[in-house]
Amino acid sequence: MKQSITADTNLFLPVLAGLLLFLGGCNFESNPEELAPDSPKANQLVTAQPATSHNSYDSLTWEGVYSGVLPCADCQGIETNIILHRDNTFNLTTRYLGKDDQVFENSGTFRWNEAGRGIRLQGIADGPDQYQVGENQLIQLDKQAQRITGDLADQYVLKKRVATPNHTPVAIFASRWLLTELLGKPVTYEPPWLTFEKVDGRVTGFSGCNNLVGNAVFGEGGKLRFSQMAGSRKACPDTTREMQFLQVLRSTVNYRLNDKTLVLMNAKMAPLATFERP
């Protein structure tokens, strides 16, 4: 019995050695992985300029202001404005329509994905942070960087604002404008104020208790309209004066400006409000 086992072993060892030599000589190489445009790796975020060419980063003038009202599960919509700057920084403002007038602001940097077709806003803890960059539009993506589907899919789009003729007077940017007269009465209390910014016609200010933000659109022939005005939600003991001031802004249709005075008017009616530089 022992002699039989030894004979079988002596026969098996040369066969095993030959098999090992055959396997060692084979070169098992897998083909490099080909990424589909919408695969997760194609959407991998990078900090530097995307390596590929003929993409949104290279082919589009993507810097600018994008605005729209995005779908909301428990409100009338999310009024959203995103400003993309060439240095890969952004400014984001959102307001939940039908709830209150509070404006939420975020700013920071964004990163392009490897394909150069999408971005992620850094530091956004809640809410959407990934967008596909198209021609004159941003398309909101889900958390997996994929297009949102369903009946409301075409509503997840922010449109780029097209430049219009600029009728904004340069002198308006000089400084903060303090309210000195409201509806014909002098202001003897802590005055509201406005500051007009050069970026996309934005206006910020103080309405007597709350901070405010919105847009100021200057037109030809001294026309002026305030829009999308919203403020913080402080508990104010008396909001009468503040409400008057906000109503004046909503009623303004034209203005008069000199070196030190800004007057808001409603056509040919008596001046609504007078501001002066400090």
CATH C-level class of 40-160 = mainly beta
Q: Which residues contact 19 (CB under 8 A, 6 or more apart)?
A: none
Tens of pLDDT, residue by residue over 131-161, are 999 999 999 999 999 999 999 999 999 998 7
Residue 126 has pLDDT above 50, yes or no: yes
Q: Is the dihedral of CA 207, 213, 217, 218 positive or negative?
A: positive
Distance CA 154, CA 259 (A): 48
Distance CA 178, CA 261 (A): 10
Tens of pLDDT, residue by residue over 179-199, are 999 999 999 999 999 998 876
Q: How many CA atoms lie within 13 A of 175 on its CB side?
A: 10
Q: Which residues contact 96 (CB under 8 A, 6 or more apart)?
A: 72, 75, 78, 79, 102
- The confidence band for 166, taking pLDDT boundaries of 50, 70 and 90, is low
Residue type, 216: A
Return the structure tokens found at 222.
């001294």
pTM, whole model, 2 decimals? 0.50
Residue 41 has pLDDT above 60, yes or no: no
- The confidence band for 267, taking pLDDT boundaries of 50, 70 and 90, is confident
Domain boundaries, the chain: 40-160, 170-276
Residue 33 has pLDDT above 50, yes or no: no
- The confidence band for 49, taking pLDDT boundaries of 50, 70 and 90, is low
Distance CA 4, CA 93 (A): 86
Burial readout 233-264 (b: 16 or more C-beta within 10 A, e: otherwise): eeeeeebebbebbbebbebbbbbebeeeebbb
Residue 112 has pLDDT above 70, yes or no: yes
CATH T-level assignment (fold) for domain 170-276: Lipocalin (2.40.128)
Lowest mean pLDDT of 109-118, 223-232, 241-250, name the range.
Answer: 223-232
Q: What is the predicted pLDDT for the residue at 217?
A: 86
Q: What is the predicted pLDDT for the residue at 264?
A: 97
Same fold: 40-160 with 170-276:
yes
